A = this chain, B = another copy of it.
Amino acid sequence: MKAAPTTHTRPRVVIVGGGFGGVNVSRVLGNSDVDVTIIDRTNHHLFQPLLYQVATGILPEGLIAPALRRVVQKQKNTKVVLGEVTNLDLDARTVSAHAPDGARITLAYDILVVAAGATHAYFGHDDWEEFAPGMKTLEDARHLRNHILGAFEMAELATDPAERQACLSFVVVGAGPTGVEVVGQITELAHRVLPSDYREIDTREARIVLVEAGPAVLGPFDKRLQQYTARILARMGVEVRCGTAATAIDRYGITVRHDGGDERIEARTKVWAAGVQASPLAKILASASGAEIDRAWRIMVEPDCTLCGHPEVFAIGDMVSLNGLPGIGQPALQEGKYVGKVIRARLDGDANVVPFKYFDKGSMATIGRTHAVARSGGMSFTGITAYLMWAFIHVLYLIGWGNRFGTLYSWGRSLWFTKNRAHRTITLEQAIDEVGSRSSPEGNATSVQATARHASKAP
């Protein structure tokens, strides 16, 4: 017979966030005698590792973002609420949120799991966000795609060679896996996909720079993989600049600092892949519980992922500081499964839980279209082996066969068999919103040149 530890009715488990962590908690509890509520501010479960492929036109967003309701559809004890959590009251044991209909929702819980993830960190330069967008949500990926495609459109129309070169210059800040993957796909666009589409510009003349403050690309990987990655990127035409930090970013370019001093790069497109910080809910949790947060705002948790003094509150995933685990999908996923099991054990009256132990399955990154690096089980892989491992693992972890086959089909089209990108629709307004028009006086000056250029074909 099951004991209900905290109340005499069905215990209520509230999960904040429908990412890898939250979904896996709910899955473990799918057949348990509890009421589970997942609250998220989007309606989808996002597969972040492939977000850069949405940002570069390879995948449509639906394939990596199945509806959260559909993901937990078969768990009849689980319901999903679309809402943004605004406060966590650990004394009253309630979660406050606002919902799309303007109502404020209060969810009472017996057990709370906070799995709200992370967002970009600009290290005190929040004004850079406007000019160097990051990539954590589908909206981010869409904005970035509009920006990149808009920059090529502006280059095609530019009459001033310096302006044209600035539109054709792309700087990615941060050479972790995300930075390497994004810079690789921007290079693919410029060198392989777009050249035949434009008449006035040669997109292969694009300047593509990868800036990294640390001494090497792919910091957490071993030296051989770092060197391989740097070599492949250089061969693709990427300027790899390690030991180089961003010191200023504005609409028109970026200033970087290295041994040789400061350097200005005129570039309309800057992508931020340099740092993340925990969801603001980590701070709320910290001040409510007295737990500490680290400099990336991640909250310190006990070995069983609970908050100190609050055995009924768990925190997992990218918003948590636990044994220095990396901010990738696997820790969140494994912590989610672990917390689900801890909750289930408690329901069964078993209070003895072993601490969370991370099983490092390895990590990997793609470089352009056919190269990748991977490390797993003490071994490291490069080239086509790593690439096939990457493709297999990523398709495997996608949710649903429809999305898996759809993704393989899209890869076939965009990466393997043709030189196209199917998902690259933008409008004039989007190009203007993202890349920005030149300031008025410049704009006027250039309009005369534009006229002259177009008119020069007249007799």
Contacts and interface: CB of A to CB of B under 8 A. Distances in A.
Contact of A158 (B101, B196, B442): B101
A157 B406 contact: no
Copies of this subunit: 2
Summarize A's interface: helix, strand, loop or mixed: mixed
B60 A101 contact: no
A49 B441 CA distance: 43
B424 A413 contact: no
B451 A104 contact: yes
A202 to B, nearest CB: 14
Given A200-B79, A402-B413, A438-B102, A62 B428 contact: no
B69 A197 contact: yes
Interface string A58-69: 001111011101
A373 B454 CA distance: 48
29 contacts: A7-B459, A9-B458, A9-B459, A12-B457, A35-B457, A41-B428, A44-B424, A60-B63, A62-B422, A62-B423, A62-B424, A65-B425, A66-B422, A67-B424, A79-B199, A79-B200, A81-B156, A82-B428, A99-B154, A101-B154, A101-B435, A103-B159, A104-B443, A104-B447, A106-B454, A108-B454, A108-B455, A405-B409, A406-B413
A427 interface: yes
Interface residues of A, number: 93
Given A100-B157, A108-B454, A73 B197 contact: yes
Given A101-B158, A103-B447, A402-B420, 12 more contacts: A9-B457, A9-B458, A62-B422, A67-B424, A82-B153, A82-B156, A101-B167, A101-B437, A102-B438, A104-B451, A400-B420, A406-B409
